[in-house]
């Protein structure tokens, strides 16, 4: 099982890196809006999670004789998820701390502009303080990394449950009762 977890976890981790770079290039070239960027980002995070399903299916079909319980499938999925979660968190932290250090400020600026349109001045002032506190926290590489781990854990758990539901297959029931022949 360890070999399968590592193999499919690394596939998903590499997939996270590739999709991150592709999305980064796509956003840089097209300059799409922040709302669309967020949607594209979450899709890019979830796409490589397909390897979780393939890992469970491989274990079920090759290692487990064609059947796997839901809990065993979920365990394998959660183990596979840890690798892309850590890899994406590292990639994202390096990006926002070293490559684009104004990433969060740009998002905050956009969000505050939207909040200004819908909030009263008192609510807006409180929101500005809240956002500024979040920005200070997100500038800390460790806090940023742990925040991404939490995000990836939540998304990964959803992916793991869905993959486990799709891949689990009960073992066939074997009738062990003695066959009684009736005489006529």
| 3-state helix, strand and coil shares in percent for the chain, rounded to the nearest 5 | 80, 0, 15
Question: Are the beta carbons of 41 and 62 closer than 8 angstroms?
Answer: no
Whole-Å CA distances, 67 to 7, 107, 161, 168 = 20, 46, 17, 7
User: Which residues lie across from 68 on neighbouring strands?
Assistant: 169
Q: What is the pTM assigned to this prediction?
A: 0.78
Kindly calculate the radius of gyration of the chain based on its CA atoms and give it in whole angstroms. 23
User: Which residues lie across from 169 on neighbouring strands?
Assistant: 68
Over its length of 184 residues, how does the chain's per-residue pLDDT go in tens digits? 789 999 999 999 999 899 988 888 888 888 887 778 888 888 888 888 889 989 999 998 888 888 888 888 899 999 999 999 999 999 999 999 999 889 889 888 888 888 889 889 899 899 999 999 989 988 899 999 999 999 888 988 898 888 888 887 776 665 555 555 555 5
Query: Maximum CA pair distance of the chain?
Result: 93
Residue from 8, 12, 141, 4 nearest 87 by CA: 12
Long-range contacts of 107-113 (CB under 8 A, 24+ apart): 107/34, 108/132, 108/134, 108/135, 110/34, 111/34
């Amino acid at each position: 099982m360890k070999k399968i977890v590592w193999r499919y976890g690394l596939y998903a981790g590499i997939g996270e890196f590739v999709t991150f770079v592709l999305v980064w290039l796509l956003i840089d070239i097209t300059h799409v809006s922040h709302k669309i960027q967020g949607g594209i980002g979450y899709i890019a995070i979830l796409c490589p999670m397909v390897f979780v399903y393939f890992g469970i299916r491989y274990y079920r079909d090759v290692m487990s004789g064609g059947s796997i319980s839901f809990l065993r499938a979920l365990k394998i999925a959660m183990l596979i998820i840890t690798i892309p979660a850590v890899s994406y968190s590292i990639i994202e932290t390096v990006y926002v701390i070293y490559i684009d250090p104004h990433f969060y400020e740009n998002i905050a600026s956009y969000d505050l502009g939207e909040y200004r349109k819908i909030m009263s001045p008192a609510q807006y002032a409180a929101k500005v303080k809240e956002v500024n506190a979040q920005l200070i926290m997100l500038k800390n590489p460790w806090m940023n990394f742990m925040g991404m781990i939490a995000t990836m854990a939540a998304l990964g758990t959803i992916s793991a449950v869905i993959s486990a539901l799709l891949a689990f297959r009960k073992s066939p029931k074997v009738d062990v009762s003695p066959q009684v022949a009736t005489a006529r």
